[in-house]
């Protein structure tokens, strides 16, 4: 199912997230994208926290990121998160990060997989999730 | 019970652990001390991992650290970890970090508490732990 | 000079900041306190970023933290930051963290030192800083 | 220039690197791959630290990672780093992570770019680097 759910979140680069190059360390973007998708789900009325409490986890299976311009200390970034597809147990996200000067600094994609907490095996998303997300099909 | 268990561990400062000041970020020392105490316990024959599998956790209740000189990128640090005291459910550690030039760069203390995983309440350490640690009483 | 500058900041615990105990990892609080003090300074009209651009850094010399209750994933925390004293090159902060249930989960203190970027030696704070902070003397 | 430089590094998963799923957080692999490439370069006789001191930085431009099985707390991982290509200012790395049970848990690729520190513009690698790396051409 192709989807179009878009969400904007702001994140300010913390001092501890910079490295001695003066850039936001490349590994820290993973947290920014995670915040982007959690907030995108929250806006849909879905709590990732509650999902886990029901015994379903959503680990990342694939992550790809392009670093176009550096994010710098204290930059106020805008993360645009798009949920693009639900395909079996897989949920696909795309991201763009812009800085305050409206420059595109990063593009990324992640594939997440619905997994049973006990068995650690892929599983269908909860019916309530599928139902809700269906209204965003394109 | 006053104790004297000393252990040395080496850690090299990772690029992602530096900040734009060119220092190892002050928050990252917490991980170094954690590695120090896990390795100190391992040398005693105690696996922190197994402790958790038995339903006992050892969260940090108090942490104090003095930053004397900066740790820099690629520095090979020596963490000296000392287990100093076991008092009820509390386990006390002290730490010193030296760099390759043998300069003292940091001193720290932590207090950890044995906690039941289910109830999240303080608990006695496992008898096997107490027995083993008793041989290091001073 | 005794001071009283108080500032409240909200931070939501990120998934990547939790550990397998299900707690916010004890080392991650350092970033929260850093955000607290940067935002406290910003409210006063002081940009830490600009301070560094003028060749003055403000590393942490001492850090002490008490963990009272765990911070959990997705908790919306309130960091109360208080600038308590300016004494020569040293600037003192105190912090309290409450969760959404208004429970006190952590208390902390840091001592920061104004340092010349080039020489890495302690230095007086910039006159503009001292002047501004003087109006908060108690 | 196609290359074949292979290097093995061991890294033990730290407690602070796990998340509440009990997995090593997906964002923390970036540090592991960074350690892998720094150690691969060091074995060749190249210090990334010295490279930066000469005014050349090597930021990551592209990063792709596949998470096959989770890395768990205290797992002793083996990172196999391969330098696969030097093409103008771009240096290509590939990585594989195995756990102690010899299971492949992750595969990744990064593209790094030689950049002038001052101008932040792409630049040729230092002649000494190219010369050394040429002996590994395939």
β-pair type (D2-12, B115-116): unpaired
**DSSP helix/strand/coil, C51:** helix
- Determine the straight-line distance between the first and last CA of chain B, rounded to whole angstroms: 8
User: pLDDT band for position D91 (50/70/90)?
Assistant: very high
Work out the widest C-alpha separation in chain A, in whole angstroms: 47
Average the pLDDT over C123-131 and give the result: 92
Neighbours of A6 (CB within 10 A): 14
Listed in order, strand segments (DSSP E) in chain A are 2-12, 56-57, 60-67, 76-87, 90-98, 104-113, 115-116
Average the pLDDT over A102-114 and give the result: 98
CA–CA gap between residue B77 and residue B103 (Å, rounded): 10
**DSSP helix/strand/coil, A25:** coil
Specify the pLDDT at position B100.
98
CA–CA gap between residue B95 and residue B78 (Å, rounded): 10
Q: What digits encode the pLDDT tens for the residues B2-52?
A: 999 999 999 999 999 999 999 999 999 999 999 999 999 999 999 999 999
Q: What is the mean pLDDT of chain D?
A: 96
Domain around A90: 2-134
Give the residue on D whose Cα is nearest the Cα of C23. Answer: D20
Q: What digits encode the pLDDT tens for the residues B101-110?
A: 999 999 999 9
Q: What is the mean pLDDT of chain A?
A: 96
Q: Which residues of C touch D (CB under 8 A)?
A: 15-16, 18-22, 25-28, 73
Specify the pLDDT at position D9.
98
Are D22 and C20 inside 8 Å of each other by CB? yes
Compare A71 and C120 and report the one with higher pLDDT.
A71
Are A49 and C74 inside 8 Å of each other by CB? yes
What is the token pair recorded at A32? Answer: 């920014």
R_g of chain D, CA atoms, integer Å: 16
Are B62 and C67 inside 8 Å of each other by CB? yes
CA–CA gap between residue A16 and residue C57 (Å, rounded): 14
B35 DSSP 8-state letter: H
Q: Which of A19, A52, A64, A100 is catalytic?
A: A19
Specify the pLDDT at position D99.
98
Tell me how many domains chain B contains: 1
Task: List residues bridging with C59 in a β-sheet.
Answer: none
Half-sphere exposure of C34 (CA within 13 A, CB side): 25
Token match 């550990």: residue? Answer: C19
β-pair type (A104-113, D60-67): unpaired
CA–CA gap between residue A110 and residue A89 (Å, rounded): 14
Backbone angles phi, psi at B111, to 5 degrees: -115, 125
Closest CA to A122 of A57, A40, A27, A71: A57
Cβ atoms of residues B65 and B106 within 8 Å: yes
Give the residue on A whose Cα is nearest the Cα of C58. Answer: A15
Closest CA to D59 of C21, A23, A57: A23
What's the burial of C110, exposed, middle or buried (CB within 10 Å: 0-12/13-18/19+)?
buried
Token match 């970020």: residue? Answer: B25
Percent of the residues in chain C that have a pLDDT greater than 70, as a whole number? 100
Work out the widest C-alpha separation in chain B, in whole angstroms: 47
Average the pLDDT over D91-109 and give the result: 98
Give the residue on B whose Cα is nearest the Cα of A74. Answer: B20
Are D34 and A52 inside 8 Å of each other by CB? no
Specify the pLDDT at position B34.
98
| Nearest-neighbour CA in chain A from C73: distance (Å) | 7
User: pLDDT band for position C53 (50/70/90)?
Assistant: very high
Average the pLDDT over B76-80 and give the result: 98
Specify the pLDDT at position A75.
98
Average the pLDDT over D29-51 and give the result: 95
Contacting residues for C137 by C-beta, under 8 A, at least 6 apart: C1, C2, C3
Specify the pLDDT at position B12.
98
- Determine the straight-line distance between the first and last CA of chain C, rounded to whole angstroms: 8
Specify the length of chain D in residues.
138
CATH of the domain at B117: 3.10.129.10
| Chains touching C (3+ CB pairs < 8 Å) | A, B, D
CA–CA gap between residue B132 and residue D13 (Å, rounded): 26
Specify the pLDDT at position A74.
97
Mutating which of D9, D10, D13, D16 best tests the B interface, going by the most B Cβ atoms within 10 A? D16
Specify the pLDDT at position A32.
98
Of B50-54, C14-18, C107-111, D79-83, which gets the smallest average pLDDT?
B50-54
CA–CA gap between residue B129 and residue C67 (Å, rounded): 24
User: pLDDT band for position B89 (50/70/90)?
Assistant: very high
What is the token pair recorded at B20? Answer: 């734009």
Q: What digits encode the pLDDT tens for the residues A74-105?
A: 999 999 999 999 999 999 999 999 999 999 99
User: pLDDT band for position A59 (50/70/90)?
Assistant: very high
- Which residue among D21, D30, D120 sits closest to A30, beta carbon to beta carbon? D30
What is the token pair recorded at D37? Answer: 């490439």
A74 is catalytic: no
Average the pLDDT over B45-74 and give the result: 96
Average the pLDDT over B57-76 and give the result: 97
Q: What is the mean pLDDT of chain C?
A: 96
- Which residue among C21, C27, C34 sits closest to B31, beta carbon to beta carbon? C27
Backbone angles phi, psi at B136, to 5 degrees: -105, 10
Give the residue on A whose Cα is nearest the Cα of B15. Answer: A19
């Amino acid at each position: 199912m192709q989807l179009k759910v878009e969400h904007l979140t702001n994140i300010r680069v913390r001092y501890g997230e910079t490295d001695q190059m003066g850039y936001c360390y490349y590994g820290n973007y993973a947290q920014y994208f995670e915040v982007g998708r959690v907030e995108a789900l929250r806006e849909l009325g879905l709590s990732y926290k509650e999902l886990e409490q029901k015994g379903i986890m959503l680990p990342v299976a694939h992550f790809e990121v392009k670093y176009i311009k550096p994010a710098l200390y204290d930059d106020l970034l805008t993360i645009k998160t798009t949920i693009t597809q639900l395909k079996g147990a897989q949920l696909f996200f795309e991201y763009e990060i812009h800085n305050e000067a409206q420059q595109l600094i990063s593009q990324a994609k992640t594939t997440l997989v619905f997994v049973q907490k006990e068995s650690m095996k892929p599983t269908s998303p909860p019916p309530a999730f599928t139902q809700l997300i269906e209204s965003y099909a394109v």
